[in-house]
Amino acid sequence: MKLNMFIDGSWQAGSTNQTRQIVNPANGEIIAEAAEGTTRDVEYAISVARKTFESGIWSEKTAEERAEVLLKIAQKIDEKQEELAKLETLDNGKTLREASYDMSDAANCFRYYAGLIRAPHGETYHVPDNMQAMVVREPIGVCGLIVPWNYPLLMSVWKLAPALAAGNTVVYKPSEVTPVTPVKLFEIFEEVGLPHGVANLVLGEGKVVGHTIVESHDVDMVSFTGGTETGRHIMRTAAGNMKKVSLELGGKSPNIIFADSDFETAVDYALFGIFSGAGQVCSAGSRILVEESIQEAFISRFVERTKKIKVGPGLNPESEMGPLVSEEHMKKVLRYIEIGKEEGAELACGGYRILDEGYDKGYFVAPTVFIHTTPDMRIVQEEIFGPVVVFQTFKDEREAIKLANDTKYGLAGGVFTQDAAKAMRVIKKVRAGITWVNTYHGTYNEAPWHGYKQSGIGSSLGTYGLDEFLEIKQINFNLQVEPIGWFKN
C-alpha cells in the first residue's frame, strides 16, 4: 500500500519522494510505504489552506451546505466501516472489536457536528436602548491539527469534524506510526467533494512536520492531542504569533474502589479501565485505589481475571487485547516494568514480553499488575501508556481523595460505591475533567472531553469542542445614527 499526502485536492508524494515503512505491530510485517513530508511540503500545505480560507469557498458556505458535506462523510465512513476497522487493526494493533467501535464513533462525530453547526450560535445583550449588542461566532482561519497513534482515525475526527463544521481550513498531521486510516479518511473527503484546499493532509515526523505547523505564523490555531512533554513544547513554539492552542494531553487516572461497591462490577470495569486498548488510552484507569478492608479479595480476583485475558493479534476474533503500537513503544513500557521492580513494587502478574510462537515478531506485552506501591514511585506518578496497572490502598474517603489527586495530571477518574452521596462527594473532589461513577471509559460526542492540570487546555467534543474552532465577535450596532458630540469643536 502506498500512502501519499493530500494537498490542494491532489495526492502528492512529497518534495523529496522519501518514504517511511509502516509496520503491523502484531507481526512486524510492513503493510505500507508512507510519503515523508518535509518543511517545504508543510509550508506549501499551509499556504494552500490560507489561500482557500481567504477565498471563502468553505467559510462562506451556509451551515446547511457544510453540514451536508459532513453528513456524506459520515455515510461513507459507515459504508466502509469494515474495511476501515480492519486497516486500523493492521496499523495500530487494537482488536477488531475496538476498531469497529472507533469507526462508528467517528461517523457519529461527523453527524453530531453536522447537526450542531445548524443550531443557534450567538447571543444578544441588554444594553442601552440606542444600541444593540450581539455576539457572532466566526471560523478562526487556518487550523493545524496534530494527533497521536492510539486512536488514529477517531482522534483525527474529534478535531476534523468540528474544525470543518466551523468553516475553517486545516493542515492535519497524523502520527508517523499510524497514517493508514487518516489517508483513507482523506480519500472519503475527495469522494464527497470537499472543496480543494479545505483539508490538507501532511505525513511525516512530529519534529519536522508537526513543528513546522506549530511554528508557522500563517496558522491561526493548533489543536494537539498527545503527550504532556510534546504539549509543553507546542505551547512554547506557538507563542511566535500568539496562535490559540488547544491541548489534550496525558493522564495517570485514579479508579477508586470502595468496600461497599458491587464487587464483580468494580473488578470488571477496573479491568476494562486499564487493559482495553492495551492500556494505550489517555484516560486509562492506570492507578486502582482500593479500600484496605477489601484489598486482598479485590486484588486476588483482579489478578485472577487479568491472567485470563486473551492477548493476541487484533484480527483474531478470539483476541481480547492486541499488541502495543510499535517496537519503540513496547521497549518504553518494558523499561517502566523494570523501573517498577527496581523501585521495590511487587509484580503480581505479567511483566514480560510475550515471545511464544506466533507472537515473537509482534509487540505483545502481558497485562501487568503491580502491588505494594508507594505514591512516590515513578510507576505511580508517570504515564506508562501500556497494559500496566498499579494498586494503591486507602483507609477512608479522605485518604482516597488525597491519593487520587496526588498527580500532576487531571484527565479522568472513576469511583465505585453503592452509596450515592459518597460517590458524589468523592467525584466532586477529584481534580479531573472526565469522571465516572460505577462505570469507566464511556465517551459521548455530546459531552465535553477536558483535562485539568497538566492534562490539557481546552476541550474536545460537545458544544465546547465546536467553540474551540470559533472566534467570538462582539458587534455593537448603533440604532440612533447621529454624531456623538464628544469634542465640542
For ligand NDP, the binding residues in 370-429 under the rule CB under 6 A are: 383, 385, 411
- Pattern of binders to ligand NDP over 40-79, x per CB under 6 A? ----------------------------------------
User: In one letter, which amino acid is 46?
Assistant: I
Interface positions, 247-266, toward ligand NDP (CB under 6 A):
248-251
Handedness of CA 74, 80, 82, 86 (dihedral sign): negative
To the nearest whole angstrom, how small is the minimum distance from the Cβ of residue 186 to ligand NDP? 16
Q: Give min distance, CB of 149 to ligand NDP, in A.
A: 5
Among 164, 166, 282, 466, binds ligand NDP (CB under 6 A): 282
Distance CA 473, CA 294 (A): 55
Could you tell me the sign of the dihedral formed by the alpha carbons of 7, 12, 13, 16, in that order? negative
Among residues 194, 127, 134, 205, which one has the least CA distance to residue 167? Answer: 194
CB of 368 to ligand NDP, least distance (A): 18
How far apart (Å, rounded) are the C-alpha atoms in residues 86 and 132? Answer: 55
Q: Which is nearer to ligand NDP, 249 or 415 (CB)?
A: 249
Q: Does residue 9 bind ligand NDP (CB under 6 A)?
A: no
d(C-alpha 245, C-alpha 215), whole Å: 12
Backbone phi and psi for residue 355, each to the nearest 5 degrees, phi listed first: -120, 20
| Residue tagged 490502598 (cell numbers) | 393
Q: Indicate the residue among 69 and 388 with the shorter CB distance to ligand NDP.
A: 388
Identify any residues that bridge with 137 across adjacent strands, giving them in sequence order: 472
The three-class DSSP label of residue 74 is helix
Question: With CB under 6 A as the contact rule, which of the stretches 4-12, 126-134, 243-251, 398-406 interacts with ligand NDP?
Answer: 243-251
Question: At a CB cut-off of 8 Å and minimum separation 6, what does 335 contact?
Answer: none
146 lies in the site for ligand NDP, by CB under 6 A: yes
Burial 402-435 (b: 16+ CB within 10 A, else e): ebbbebebbbbbbbbbeeeebbeebbebbebbbb
Extended beta strands in 363-402, E state = 368-371, 388-394
Instruction: Assess whether 282 carries a catalytic annotation.
Output: yes
Neighbours of 255 (CB within 10 A): 25
In the set 173, 184, 252, 287, which binds ligand NDP (CB under 6 A)? 173
- State the minimum distance, in angstroms, from the CB of residue 156 to ligand NDP: 10
Q: Select the span of 14-22, 175-183, 184-192, 475-483 touching ligand NDP (CB under 6 A).
A: 175-183
Binder among 9, 195, 227, 448 for ligand NDP (CB under 6 A)? 227
148 touches ligand NDP by CB under 6 A: yes
Residue 60 three-state SS: coil
Q: How many residues make contact with ligand NDP (CB under 6 A)?
A: 34
Cell representation of residue 259: 468496600
Judged by CB under 6 A, which of 58, 149, 275, 336 binds ligand NDP?
149
Q: Which is nearer to ligand NDP, 239 or 475 (CB)?
A: 239
**Separation of alpha carbons 271 and 107, rounded Å:** 27
Q: Which is nearer to ligand NDP, 69 or 337 (CB)?
A: 337
CB of 336: closest distance to ligand NDP in angstroms?
13
Near ligand NDP in 202-221, by CB under 6 A: 205-207, 210-211, 214
Binder of ligand NDP out of 226, 350, 410, 462 (CB under 6 A)? 226
Q: Does 188 bind ligand NDP (CB under 6 A)?
A: no
Asked if 191 is an active-site residue, the reply is no
From CA 8, how far away is CA 152, in angstroms rounded?
A: 22
Q: How far apart are CA 75 and CA 72, in angstroms?
A: 5
Rounded to the nearest whole angstrom, what is the least distance from the CB of residue 399 to ligand NDP in the complex?
Answer: 26
What is the set of active-site residues? 248, 282
Interaction site with ligand NDP (CB under 6 A): 146-150, 155, 173, 175-177, 205-207, 210-211, 214, 225-227, 230, 233-234, 248-251, 282, 383, 385, 411, 449, 451, 455-456
